[in-house]
Structure 1
Amino acid sequence: MHTILFILAALLYIGSALLPSGQRAAISAATALGWLLHGGALWADMVQPGALRIGFAMVLSATLWISVAAYWLENRNLSLDGLRVLVLPCAALAVILPAAFPGALVPLEGKSSLFPWHVAIAILAYSTLTIAAFHAVLMALQESRLHAPAEAGRRDWLALAIDRLPALLTMEKLLFRLIGFGFGLLTLTVVSGIGFSEQLFGTPFKLDHKNAFTMLSWLLFGALLAGRLWRGWRGKTALRFTLTGFATLLLAYVGSRFVLEVVLHRSLA
């Protein structure tokens, strides 16, 4: 395990989260350096000769690694300082989890050459919908400040970060853009998992906890996009669907793997 690199990345993420918002150049540089250290250590640990290391901590760490990249890129175009104070502390925690919960090595022998691609697409889907969930939380906080005079008078660091967010309509457009992209990736994950289960995993498809929660999450995000298109869903309805779909997706792999690895002490892939 590349523990030192993970710890350095976590410290850089925390430092970036605590820097004053006016120091944009320092925040951007520290976040980028932490992201590079995080990615290098993650790659070295996950990708082994003839095998992949997979576990709930590895997947969660990879998900937050891509989420940090999404935040960093978005923040260059829009002022999303509120996203920084949510994403980076979560990434700092996720980056050190593999040191305590290394997961298991999954041999690639006997599996389809598409298996690593299936894993990569699934992680991209989780990451995109994770950053969408962070957006939904920010929008809920932003809306509460607009409708609560007492809250609007607060001037703490989080309130200041929320006040600097783009308008709610802009945030909402960005939210649905993320959900649409994440839903497309999740669709590829579900279709490949169902249609090519035996080639990918060496076993026929079965409706276990992971697959059931993944399909339920897919249905929730699909219903949200359909409701947005045909019924004009927005506001609190959109936020509820987003957070419920994300929570369901989190249970699909990370939650089930956490129970297997930490609670039941099983190392099956």
Structure 2
Amino acid sequence: MYTYFFVLAALFYAACAFLPSKQHTAISTGTLIGWLLHGAALWVDVIGHGVLRMGFAIMLSGALWISVAIYWLENRNFSLDGLRVLVLPSAAIGVLLPTVFPGSLIPLDGKSALFPWHIAIAMLAYSTLTIAAFHAVLMALQESKLHTRLSVQKTGWFALAIDRLPALLTMEKLLFRLIGIGFFLLTLTVLSGVVFSEELFGKAFKWEHKTIFTMLSWILFGVLLAGRRWRGWRGKTALSFTLTGFTTLFLAYVGSRFVFEVILHRSLA
């Protein structure tokens, strides 16, 4: 039954992505309906009958679910119509990924009650930093256009989306807001994983691939926020740290799961 929710959510996202920008109410309502359907489908698919379903497709779908929520909320404060035609088509595709790549099942029997919360916070952290990286790419495209002074033909949805983006200063404020929230959630993820490792995972804390890459990502985002506060870092420095930190986090979670599940056809808990 939840598969139909994924499909319906994809249809709502796709429809709202290409509606005329003047239809604000229809876009906002349709996006909210698609987001609710998407969330309901993820909830039923991920948590069901005493097991937890995890995989790279579910994590990407969850990241896009958070991305849509952030776009919908921030669009009420800023004019982000340019983001609409970028975020929603991506979400329309991403929402269907769990139906193609179902991932692996993790039994919850014997697991601590903290375990689902740890996973949820980790997912929120990853999702927030994913949209921050996407946001940084858009800023890089904006900045490149300004510096090179190249004329961009206003044909095609992508070119129009770039032209509709808010000013760079506004985009930068949004970027650091996203990074701040993501870093806070990632800090909770790291702390809970280190302090409650044995209770959460049934084994003592140890340094492994996922842990090392997560810690590296946490350090990079922490250095970026510190540099922003005390050295006024911005522009290319901020974009470089953001994309490097996200790439590291991607390798820790989605990248490793993609290699195991799709390329090696193995389960990774």
Query: TM-score band (shorter)?
Result: over 0.9
Q: Following TM superposition, by how much is the alpha carbon of 1:102 offset from its aligned partner in structure 2, in angstroms?
A: 1.1
1:170 alignment partner in structure 2: 170
1:40 alignment partner in structure 2: 40
Cα 1:168–1:268 shift into 2, 3 Å: closer
Spell out the pairing of 1:70-149 with structure 2 (5 A cutoff): 70-149=70-149
Residues 260, 267 of structure 1: 8 Å contact kept: yes
SS at 1:105's partner residue? strand
Q: Distance in 2 between matches of 1:143 and 1:162?
A: 11
Q: Following TM superposition, by how much is the alpha carbon of 1:72 offset from its aligned partner in structure 2, in angstroms?
A: 0.7
1:221 alignment partner in structure 2: 221
Q: Give yes or no for the alignment of 1:150 onto 2:145.
A: no
Amino acid at match of 1:243: L
SS at 2:106's partner residue? strand
Q: Distance in 1 between matches of 2:247 and 2:93?
A: 18
Q: Distance in 2 between matches of 1:97 and 1:163?
A: 30
Amino acid at match of 1:3: T
Q: Give yes or no for the alignment of 1:180 onto 2:172.
A: no
Amino acid at match of 2:79: S
Residues 82, 138 of structure 1: 8 Å contact kept: no
Q: Distance in 1 between matches of 2:240 and 2:91?
A: 23
2:191 alignment partner in structure 1: 191
Structure 1 gap ranges (5+): none
2:230 alignment partner in structure 1: 230
Q: Distance in 2 between matches of 1:246 and 1:86?
A: 19
- Name the stretch that deviates more: 83-92 or 109-118: 83-92
Q: Distance in 1 between matches of 2:23 and 2:144?
A: 27
Structure 2 gap ranges (5+): none
Q: Following TM superposition, by how much is the alpha carbon of 1:100 offset from its aligned partner in structure 2, in angstroms?
A: 1.3
- Name the stretch that deviates more: 84-93 or 228-237: 84-93
Q: Following TM superposition, by how much is the alpha carbon of 1:37 offset from its aligned partner in structure 2, in angstroms?
A: 1.2
Deviation track 1:26-67 (CA, whole Å, cap 9, x = no partner) reads: 221221111111111111111112221111111221121111
Q: TM-score, normalised to structure 1's length? A: 0.94
Q: Following TM superposition, by how much is the alpha carbon of 1:96 offset from its aligned partner in structure 2, in angstroms?
A: 0.8
Q: Distance in 1 between matches of 2:236 and 2:51?
A: 44
Amino acid at match of 1:107: P
Q: Distance in 2 between matches of 1:116 and 1:133?
A: 26
Spell out the pairing of 1:47-58 with structure 2 (5 A cutoff): 47-58=47-58
Residues 8, 37 of structure 1: 8 Å contact kept: yes
Q: Following TM superposition, by how much is the alpha carbon of 1:4 offset from its aligned partner in structure 2, in angstroms?
A: 2.0
Residues 57, 102 of structure 2: 8 Å contact kept: yes
Q: Following TM superposition, by how much is the alpha carbon of 1:149 offset from its aligned partner in structure 2, in angstroms?
A: 2.5
Q: Distance in 1 between matches of 2:243 and 2:185?
A: 18
After TM superposition, the runs of 4+ consecutive aligned structure 1 residues lying more than 4 A away are none
